[in-house]
């Protein structure tokens, strides 16, 4: 069951199509329960922080053809007041081109949706410090410690990082050791594959890259 209905039939149908297509081309899309959590995170964060004076920037790192992006973007779109941007980053060229088409089909009116063809970690490193509000991370799990360390700089205070596959395939132990340290406050949503949510609480000593 998807958390839309009635006048939302078009968006529901798009979600189903993108989920099915992702599976057909050999991707492993996030579970719908993970998508629902992303929707809720995007909606709640934007409700609390969006204003005419406060821009919101969210990124989907390792977006595939956009299934996870649609969930996150829809939650933000429902709550956006000022300027809100969602950037989906995908390295593989065929997926990137399909991603662009999917985002155009989404017809979300309150936010800016952008597809970027780039290495997700390199893109993240190129962002200005403390410019990012929400990051969904679904890249190679061995990179999670590096991504977490980079997000310590790139996220605003109070920003949220969401890591897929906290349970399986399990990221390195160093990732879990670091996400339990300041400035992070974290929890894992017990979905099938695990969705780790880390909030940047404030300044402090920089994390070592273990």
Neighbours of 98 (CB within 10 A): 20
- Report the pLDDT value the prediction gives residue 208, as an integer from 0 to 100: 52
Query: Does the structure show a pLDDT above 90 at 184?
Result: yes
pLDDT tens digits for range 57-80: 999 999 999 999 999 999 999 999
Q: 155 - beta bridge partners? A: 132
pLDDT band at 203 (very low <50, low <70, confident <90, very high): low
Q: What is the mean pLDDT of residues 86-104?
A: 97
- Report the pLDDT value the prediction gives residue 209, as an integer from 0 to 100: 47
Query: Does the structure show a pLDDT above 50 at 5?
Result: no
pLDDT tens digits for range 116-145: 999 999 999 999 999 999 999 999 999 999
**Mean pLDDT taken over the chain:** 93
pLDDT tens digits for range 153-174: 999 999 999 999 999 999 999 9
- Report the pLDDT value the prediction gives residue 117, as an integer from 0 to 100: 98
pTM for this prediction: 0.92
Query: From the centroid of its chain, how far is CA 199?
Result: 13
- Report the pLDDT value the prediction gives residue 207, as an integer from 0 to 100: 47
Domains of the chain, each with CATH number or no CATH: 6-200 (3.40.50.150)
Question: Using H for helix, E for strand and C for coil, what is the string for 28-46?
Answer: CCCCHHHHHHHHHHHHHHH
Can you read off the two tokens belonging to residue 193? 């594959």
Query: Does the structure show a pLDDT above 90 at 84?
Result: yes
């Amino acid at each position: 069951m998807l958390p839309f209905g009635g006048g939302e039939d078009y968006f529901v149908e798009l979600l189903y199509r993108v989920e099915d297509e992702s599976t057909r081309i050999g991707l492993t899309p996030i579970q719908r329960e993970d998508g629902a959590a992303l929707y809720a995170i995007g909606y709640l964060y934007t409700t609390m922080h969006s204003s005419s004076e406060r821009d919101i920037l969210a990124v989907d790192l390792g977006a595939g053809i956009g299934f996870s992006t649609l969930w996150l973007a829809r939650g933000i779109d429902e709550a956006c007041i000022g300027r809100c941007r969602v950037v989906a980053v995908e390295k593989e060229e065929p997926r990137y081109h399909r991603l662009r088409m999917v985002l155009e089909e989404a017809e979300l009116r309150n936010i800016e949706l952008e597809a970027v063809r780039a290495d997700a970690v390199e893109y993240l490193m190129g962002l200005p410090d403390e410019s990012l509000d929400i990051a969904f991370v679904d890249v190679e799990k061995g990179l999670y410690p590096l991504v977490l360390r980079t997000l310590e700089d790139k996220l605003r205070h109070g920003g949220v990082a969401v890591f897929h596959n906290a349970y399986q395939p399990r990221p390195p132990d160093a990732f879990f050791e670091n996400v339990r340290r300041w400035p992070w406050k974290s929890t894992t949503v017990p979905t099938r594959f695990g969705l780790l949510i880390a909030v940047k609480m404030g300044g402090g000593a920089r994390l070592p890259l273990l």
